[in-house]
Structure 1
Amino acid sequence: MDIEKLKKQYKFMIHHLYKELNMYRRVNNKYRIHAEIKRKKFKYKLYEEFRVQSLYRASKLYNIIGDMQGKSVSYKLLRNKINKNTDYILTKTTETENSYINSFKNQRNWALHFSNAEFEAELEIDPEYFNHHKIIISEPKFVDYNVYFSLIQHNWSEINKAKMVLELAIKDYEILFGQKPVFEKSKVNTMDLTWLEKSVKSFKYSKK
């Protein structure tokens, strides 16, 4: 086991954990403003934009924390490798912290797959759907306040759980490197095509 490479992977992971947590928080704050205006319903288009952006940011966190695929550099997998293959003694996790980390793993497995679970749910809710040959695509004009607000609450719950995982990861970082990480913002005026180079290289490495 290459310990130095493990430590570099850990630094890479905590960088993206911090970044995506802040991006997720930013999305929720942006759309939360609409809920502060007293109204009974919201345009479905607005809700769908909010839902899609929330799912994207949450999915990034689910992967960064809970992905257990063999080539993953998630927090959970790196932590397991460090505990099993090095002399570092990482922070002992509480039952609550373990449940949060495992919930991200489970959410990742559910959210990023088109599974039989979705089929079974549809079958239970609307069994008549399978008795005809119409493919009906429904798109409402509005969602009520409770639907919109429940997404805000769900996001805050996931953000707070991820925040606790980040705090744990920072403690582990201090054990690995002898100091706390320093998070700084770097202002970039314009994003150009060179920003896509990492994605191209990443895809190439994924096929190896």
Structure 2
Amino acid sequence: MTTNFTLRDFFVYLLSGLTLLICLGTIFHAELFRLTVIFFDKYDFVKEFSFLVTILLIPAIYLLGHIIGSLSYGSLQFFVWTDKKFKKSGKQIPKWKYFILIKLQQLFYRQRVVYAVIKWTKSDSSEKPFKSVAEFWTSCAKLQIEKIYTPAEYWYVLNELFNSINLIFFISTIISFLNKQWILGILYLVMTIFAFKRAKQYAAHFIQAVVNLTVARQNTQPGK
């Protein structure tokens, strides 16, 4: 499973970085084309090492994917920090601050596995194999130890991928509107909503996969 996860991890960050480059390329295509022409005119010898440059681009794109992943995680930490701060203050939150907080929560938190697990454990379903968040993650750990976690891991990785893509499209939306590229901004806004919906769907699939695996393990191995 470690090898498979490493490969999936690599492609998730590679796809995230590639998506970022494509989005920036569509927004700043004229400027990037001009800079590329200037660069190759000034450093003509680079053309002789085009294959090597292409190879070196792969780790660079992978690194960009990690940066986006860090920003995505940072947005989650930011929400948790602001939410605790508002609750701790005990003061009534101004409506505009509350509105911004809710929208940030909807965009960067509610499509995540963490939020989906919390909501699922608080639901009224009586057929749940675990009743708390701690029990859920303990079950995930047991599935990993027994090397039967792969079907659930697939949905978790997809959720992480679309969390990053959701952030990329959101940033691209803002940049497009700031550059008065209205059609492109609307397109990225639609894609942001699409990525959000898919991430949320994959989070639900992950939970259901963990439930199915846990129930199957309990039925086939009653002592565990």
Same-fold call, TM > 0.5? no
TM-score by length of 2: 0.28
Structure with greater helix percent: 2
TM-score by length of 1: 0.29
More relative contact order, 1 or 2 (CA 8 Å, 6+ apart): 1
